[in-house]
Amino acid sequence: MAAEIVLEARDLTKRFGGVAAVNGMSLSVSKGEILGLIGPNGAGKTTMFDLLAGSVRVSAGSIRLMGRDITTEPAYRRLAGGMARTFQIPRPFPDLSLLENMLIARQSQTGERLWANFTAPRRIAAEERAAREKALGLLDLVALRRLADDPARVLSGGQRKLLELARVMMADPQVILLDEPAAGVNPALLEVLISRIQEINASGVTFVLIEHNIDMVSRLCNRIVVMAQGALLFQGRPDEVAKEPRVIEAYLGGASA
Partner 1 sequence: MTILQVNGLVAGYEPGLSIVKGASIHAAEAEIVVILGPNGAGKSSLIKAIAGLVPITAGQVLLDGHDITAVPAHLKIRQGLAFVPQTENIFPLMTVEENLHVAGGILPRAEVAPRIAEMFETFPDLARQRALMAGSLSGGQRQMLAVARALIVRPRVLMLDEPSAGLSPKLVEQVFARLSEIRQAGLTIVLVEQNARAALAIGDRAYVLVEGREAHEGPAKTLWDNPLIAELYLGHRKDAS
**Under rule CB under 8 A, residue 255 binds partner 1:** yes
**Under rule CB under 8 A, residue 3 binds partner 1:** no
**Under rule CB under 8 A, residue 1 binds partner 1:** no
Pairing, β 60-65 against β 34-38: unpaired
The Cα 138–Cα 196 span in angstroms is 10
Candidate residues 184, 200, 219, 229; the one interacting with partner 1 per rule CB under 8 A: 184
**Under rule CB under 8 A, residue 209 binds partner 1:** no
**Under rule CB under 8 A, residue 253 binds partner 1:** yes
The residue among 51, 20, 45 whose CA lies nearest residue 233 is 45
Candidate residues 98, 162, 166, 170; the one interacting with partner 1 per rule CB under 8 A: 162
Q: List Cβ<8 Å contacts ≥24 apart for 122-125.
A: none
Q: Taking contact as CB under 8 A, which single stretch among the options 5-13, 60-68, 106-114, 150-158 is the one that binds partner 1? A: 150-158
**Under rule CB under 8 A, residue 155 binds partner 1:** yes
Which DSSP string corresponds to 15-27?
A: EETTEEEEEEEEE
Query: Contact letters (x/-) for partner 1, 47-86, by CB under 8 A?
Result: ----------------------------------------
Nearer to partner 1, 131 or 225 (CB): 225
**Under rule CB under 8 A, residue 40 binds partner 1:** yes
**Helix axis angle, 121-141 to 157-169, nearest 10°:** 140
Q: Where do runs of H (alpha helix) occur along the chain?
A: 45-53, 75-80, 98-104, 116-119, 121-141, 157-169, 187-202, 214-220, 238-242, 245-247
Candidate residues 190, 200, 231, 232; the one interacting with partner 1 per rule CB under 8 A: 190
CB-count burial class (<10 Å; 0-12, 13-18, 19+) for 100: middle
Nearer to partner 1, 40 or 173 (CB): 40
> Interface residues with partner 1 (CB under 8 A)?
38-42, 88-89, 143, 147, 154-159, 162, 180, 183-191, 212, 214, 250-256
